[in-house]
Structure formats: C-alpha cells, structure tokens
Amino acid sequence: MNKPEKIRCDACPVMCYIAEGKAGACDRYANEAGKIVRCDPLVILDKRIEKGDAVKPFLAAEWDGDRASGKDVVVSAIGAGTTYPDYKPAPFIISREIDGVDFVTVVTEAIFSYCGVKVKIDTDRHLGHEAATVRSEGEAIGHVMTSEYGSQMLSLGGVDHLTGGSKPEGRKTCDALLRLCNREAVELSIDGGSTVVVQAGEAPIVDGQSEERMRVGCGSATIGMFASQWQGLVDEVVVVDDHITGVVSEHQAGKVIDWPDTGIRIKGRRSTPGRYFKVAEPGLGWGGTNIDDPLTILDKWRPEKGARPGLSLLMVSTTGEHAAYYVLNAELEPEAKPMPQALQPSVDLIAQNCEPALCTVLFMGGAGGSLRSGVTKNPINLTRSVQENRTRVTIGGASTYRWPGGGITVMVDVTEVPENAFGYVPTPALVAPLEFTVSRADYALLGGHDEAVRELEDVIEKGGEYGSAAEVRSSLK
C-alpha cells in the first residue's frame, strides 16, 4: 500500500507539507483526509448568552434554521482561516442586518510581522531605566518606555525583533508576544533592573514580590488630597516619592490652611515650595526610591524656622505601605515612636485610595498590507474608508483604537478578546483575528468582493473553506 502523500498548506509563507492526520508547524492547520482544515472552529460571539453559561458548540447539524440577528450575533475571525497569499477574497464575507441596515463583515486571521504589545505595569517600583532592554529567556524582545502616572511602561515586539535580529531573538519574541496576547504569564528581565512577571489582568510580580496597589499620586498630589486631614494631628508630613516628594508645611496646600513652618530641610532638588525632585535614586523601597530608611532624605533641622524638641513628623509613601512616626529630641534629631492611634486612619486612607495593581497588555499591529486585498480589489479604498470611520475595525469582536495618520494601525486590550484568540506562524509572526465591518452600500463602493458575500444563516449552516464546525461564545463581560 502506497503511503499517502503529504499536501502543501498555503495559509502562511512557511508552506508546510503536512501528512494526513498531522498539523502544520503553527498547529492551526491540519491534513484531514487529504484536505487542509482549520484545527480551531470559527467563533461566533453571541451577546444573548448570559454570564456563566458554557460555551456551546454550534455545528451545522444542530442549527435549527431560525434567522440569526446580526445585532446579537457576530462572526469573529477566530478560526476563520486566512486570505494568504491575499489575492483571494477573505474566508468569510458575511451580510447581516443591524437595526434595519444591511452590513458586511469581512473576517480573516491576519498574519502580523509588524506587531507588538504595549504593557502597562501598575507599580511605583523602579523596574529599569528608560530605554533599557527587556528580555525573555535571555533574548532581547523590547525596551522600557517612559513611565506614566503610577505605572511603568514596556514596548515589546515589533518587526525589528521578530525578523531583524537572530533566529533565537525572533522565536523568543514571537513566543512571548503570543503568550502575553493569550493572557498567559510571562517572566521578563530588564537590563540593569528587575525581573517582572506580567500577565494581562493580573497583578505584576516584581523580583518575586506581588504588587498590591498602584500609588495614589505623587508626593505633591498626596499632600493636595489629604493635607487638611493631617492638620491638628501631626506637626509635619513628608510624602516620599521617587518623582516628586512633598512636604506639607511648605506646600501650597499647607499654606492655604495656615500650616506653620517646621524648619525641616530636605535633601534633593527643590522645585516649587514643598515639592522636591531626586531625593534618592529609583528603586524598590519607599515610594519607588532605593531607600529603606526615610530619614536619609532629611538634612539638619533649622530652629530659627520653627524646629523644636517634641515636634512630631509623619513620613509616608505614596501607596501607604510604608509609614513611620517620629518626634524630634533635644538635639533636633527625629526618633522613631509608635504610630499614634489618631494618625493611623490617615495612612490607611492613602492605601484605600490606591487602585489595585494590574498588568495591561495592548496588542498593536499594522493592518495596511496585502491582507486588504481579501476585502477589496483596490486596497487603498479600504484604508481610506477606515480612516474616514466608514469601516469599523475589530479584533476578535473587540473594539480597537485606530492610530491617526497613514495606514491602518490599531490597538486592542487583549482582555477584551476571547481567550486563546491569537496564534502564530513560524516565520515568525503573530496571527490575530481581524474583522472589517461596513455598510453593504459602502462595501460596493470599495470595490469589494461582492460575489463572495454570504448571508449569516448560510455561514452558520455550511461553514467555509476550512470546515463547517463553529462555536458560539458569550461576548458578555
């Protein structure tokens, strides 16, 4: 008996030869009885399914023939297959009625070489200096971006890491991006900085320590919020922060409520009254600095400016997780004392006003290439329609943010996309489910593949090129 011949898959540039019963290198396509099939089913998002309901298989044999509502049911590109090599119409071009208007949704699993993720890590701890290299399993996959209010930011991936470096760099970059987009935990190391475990929607783990909260604000903002609640309970308050350390007696908030001078002196660069930069180096200690003892940022107190024995001092971080109470002795040196019961609620209030620390992962990709040919015979028409907001772009049914300017560059929060929606091809590149929705009238003006448009009921009943199996998932959060 002759051994069955392998058949060639044309779903990506790798063009695997696949034996019967086996899958290709991407694990997305397989040879079933001499035909290339998509291993995962087409995903249909049903907004009508209540939270907690199980995902229901939606096979052709089980469909009851009822007309599906285009408003409630959305065919995503998850499991749809690809247009590659892009000269042909997209796997599914679906007509459905929404609020009395005929719309067309074009779905395809797009191959992205130009893609990456932007990662927001809620922590005031120092992860690494701006532009420091970020690594996964030893390979460079991105860099540290400018930090934002209460968060550290990373930019990972991109074509230079996927294809512009060594083969191991490309593979590790693709693997890290895939796992991050599919909401898995990924350990990253930052040159000259920390190791952090990132997982979308979960708390970051910095050097083995799970973060609980992001800061309430910088030291100056904290004083602005809580100065009046400290008045009458303590003589001086210093909010330690890597960026802007605040001193209540000097701060404008303190002056407005007639807070008396205390003669305190802070080591650091004074900005405006009560606001100090660079009181210490960045790190994992108090307020994102490298200090464990907050007294190291204090200079000699000035009796001519109000310093006196018995003066009380509260030092606190911007998350409230560090706090200490001191009283000046006869030599005007602060001595640690137990936190007064009346003062503790103000420290707790800072913690209560901090939001939970989470990791946010935004997939970002450029969809301005040849995949547009799967939508229209004249690709620039699609680009212009998207830019004019006549065509809506979604990823796995989730809303995207489109960057202004040329091309079609979009971002999506991966937690808004159904689980395990992203794939890869070993070129290496990511595969993301991409949908374009436009009115039927505008689709005709685009020069779209009108001959390939199918009704939603027909898609649900018969499936498509890569098999008929489909799966209904709730899109409710």
User: Is a pLDDT exceeding 50 seen at residue 59?
Assistant: no
Burial grade of 421 (CB within 10 A; 0-12, 13-18, 19 or more): buried
Orientation of helix 219-230 relative to helix 344-352, angle to 10°: 140
Interval 180-191 mean pLDDT: 98
Residue 334 CA: distances (Å) to CA of 236, 251, 302, 347: 12, 21, 13, 19
Interval 272-295 mean pLDDT: 94
> Cβ of 185: how many Cβ atoms within 10 Å?
13
Lowest mean pLDDT among 1-15, 118-132, 212-226, 415-429: 1-15
- Kindly give the residue spans of alpha helices, DSSP state H, lying in 340-431: 344-352, 379-387
The pLDDT, as a whole number, for residue 92 is: 87
Question: 127 near 206, Cβ under 8 Å?
Answer: yes
The C-alpha angle with vertex 61 and arms to 57 and 64, in degrees rounded to 5, equals 90
Select the more confidently predicted residue: 475 or 204.
204
pLDDT band at 112 (very low <50, low <70, confident <90, very high): very high
CA distance 16 to 10: 8
Q: What is the pLDDT of residues 45-54, one digit of tens each?
A: 665 544 433 3
| CA distance from start to end of the chain | 54
The pLDDT, as a whole number, for residue 176 is: 98
| Torsion 170-122-395-79 (CA) sign | positive
pLDDT band at 9 (very low <50, low <70, confident <90, very high): confident
The pLDDT, as a whole number, for residue 477 is: 46
Residue 54 CA neighbour count, 13 Å, CB half: 3
For residue 90, what is the DSSP state?
Answer: P
- Write out the two tokens for 160: 């230079």
Residue keyed to tokens 């909401």: 183
The pLDDT, as a whole number, for residue 68 is: 47
Residue keyed to tokens 């860099």: 143
pLDDT band at 75 (very low <50, low <70, confident <90, very high): confident
Residue 61 CA: distances (Å) to CA of 80, 234, 463: 19, 74, 11
Average pLDDT across the chain, whole number: 88
Burial grade of 21 (CB within 10 A; 0-12, 13-18, 19 or more): exposed
% of the chain exceeding 90 in pLDDT = 69
CA distance 181 to 174: 11
Residue 100 CA: distances (Å) to CA of 198, 391, 445: 44, 18, 20
Burial grade of 145 (CB within 10 A; 0-12, 13-18, 19 or more): middle
Q: What is the pLDDT of residues 201-232, one digit of tens each?
A: 999 999 999 999 999 999 999 999 999 999 99
Best CA proximity match to 428, nearest among 81, 163, 164, 165: 163
> Cβ of 12: how many Cβ atoms within 10 Å?
24
> Cβ of 87: how many Cβ atoms within 10 Å?
10
Select the more confidently predicted residue: 392 or 64.
392
Burial grade of 465 (CB within 10 A; 0-12, 13-18, 19 or more): middle
The pLDDT, as a whole number, for residue 57 is: 33
Highest mean pLDDT, choosing among 9-18, 32-41, 182-191, 433-442: 182-191
CA distance 285 to 209: 12
pLDDT band at 256 (very low <50, low <70, confident <90, very high): very high
CA distance 173 to 455: 39
Burial grade of 142 (CB within 10 A; 0-12, 13-18, 19 or more): buried
- Which pairing describes strands 470-474 and 42-46: parallel, antiparallel, or unpaired? parallel
Global pTM reads 0.85
